[in-house]
Amino acid sequence: MNLNPPANVIEVQNLTCGYGETVVLQNVSFAVRPREVLFVIGRSGCGKSTLLRCLIGLLKPFQGKVLYFEKDFTAADTNQRREILKSFGVIYQSNALWSSMTLAENVSLPLEEHTSLSAADRDEIVALKLTEVGLAGSGALYPSELSGGMKKRAALARALALDPAIVFFDEPSEGLDPITSRDMDRLILQVRDILGTTMVIVSHQLSSIFRVADRVMVLDRDAKGIIAEGKPSELAAKSSDPRVREFLRQGTNAEERSDGPSVDEKTEALSH
């Protein structure tokens, strides 16, 4: 038993990343605490999706480190990387559900890839995960038969299949109506509270930020990094940076209207 668990589940140290010779983020450092709901926000082109790609291993940084539970993911060999990958799940903006597979088959994929469980044991876990996200009895459906909100829940069930300590979300409310978006926010908090899962969420949905986030991290394109961190309400009211106040005050108004606007950013759908 580990009597001294790490204070942080994720540590990013002096991360510089981009594409080709273009640097998008430079010398970025931050940490994420256990059970925290951290939102990564900022205007289009600030590097949110680039950061997410580095965190989940889809993009190799130019320099710097990403550590999970004090283990260096960036420098990990194949076996180490495979073990670290099991510690987090990812929900992609496009949901990335296989259209030719049933919902149950989609959720079972991580279990088939990363465990030696029997088919019966996998089926039992799949049923449990579907129940946890409010989709009990829906395993025989195909993605084409699901509503947008159900697809998000299905993607979350798959992300939770291995009981990860961390779940990454890429625009979890993208394409959802305000009521369904609010339901998704409640589900995120429910999963955090019941399972103790740490959440890192890339989002433009400003009303969700104020409803769900423990902390926000604001990225800026010109700064190539973080320009503010803290509780969204405090940053909206007191940040010394006018860019941060302006961005977040839109969310304050949106929360008062009960359905916040989504600032449009079209990013390439990630594939894990």
State residue 5's pLDDT score: 65
Same domain, yes or no, for 171 and 70? yes
Q: Do residues 199 and 192 make contact, with C-beta atoms less than 8 angstroms apart?
A: yes
Q: How many C-beta atoms surround the C-beta of residue 85 within 10 A?
A: 21
pLDDT digits (tens, 9 = 90+) for 215-226: 999 999 999 999
Domain limits for position 139: 94-163
Same domain, yes or no, for 98 and 74? no
Say if 233 falls within a structural domain.
yes
Same domain, yes or no, for 181 and 80? yes
Same domain, yes or no, for 207 and 116? no
Say if 267 falls within a structural domain.
no
Provide the β-strand partners of residue 98: none
Same domain, yes or no, for 30 and 154? no
d(CA 91, CA 271): 10
State residue 4's pLDDT score: 65
- Boundary of a domain, candidates 141, 163, 185: 163
Say if 266 falls within a structural domain.
no
- Boundary of a domain, candidates 132, 163, 194: 163
Burial of 54 (0-12, 13-18, 19+ CB in 10 A): buried
Q: Residue 164 has which token pair?
A: 């990860």
Same domain, yes or no, for 74 and 7? yes
Say if 268 falls within a structural domain.
no
Per residue of the chain (272 residues), what is the pLDDT tens digit?
A: 455 667 899 999 999 999 999 999 999 999 999 999 999 998 888 999 999 999 999 999 999 999 999 999 999 999 999 899 999 999 987 778 888 999 999 999 999 988 899 999 999 999 999 999 999 999 999 999 988 888 989 999 999 999 999 999 998 887 788 888 899 899 999 999 999 999 999 987 788 888 999 999 999 999 999 999 999 989 988 888 888 888 887 755 544 444 333 323 323 322 33
Same domain, yes or no, for 77 and 178? yes
Q: How many domains does the chain have?
A: 2
Q: What is the 3-state secondary structure (H, E, C) of the chain?
A: CCCCCCCCCEEEEEEEEEECCEEEEEEEEEEECCCCEEEEECCCCCCHHHHHHHHHCCCCCCEEEEEECCEECCCCCHHHHHHHHCCEEEECCCCCCCCCCCHHHHHHHHHHHHCCCCHHHHHHHHHHHHHHCCCCCCCCCCHHHCCHHHHHHHHHHHHCCCCCCEEEEECCCCCCCHHHHHHHHHHHHHHHHHHCCEEEEECCEHHHHHHHCCEEEEEECCCCEEEEEECHHHHHHHCCCHHHHHHHHHHHHHHHHCCCCECCCCCCCCCC
Same domain, yes or no, for 78 and 175? yes
Same domain, yes or no, for 81 and 184? yes
Q: Do residues 156 and 187 make contact, with C-beta atoms less than 8 angstroms apart?
A: yes
Residue with token string 């299905």: 154
- Boundary of a domain, candidates 104, 137, 163: 163
CATH of the domain at 192: 3.40.50.300
State residue 221 phi and psi, 5-degree precision: -65, -45
CA distances from 49 to 113, 171, 174 (A): 26, 10, 14
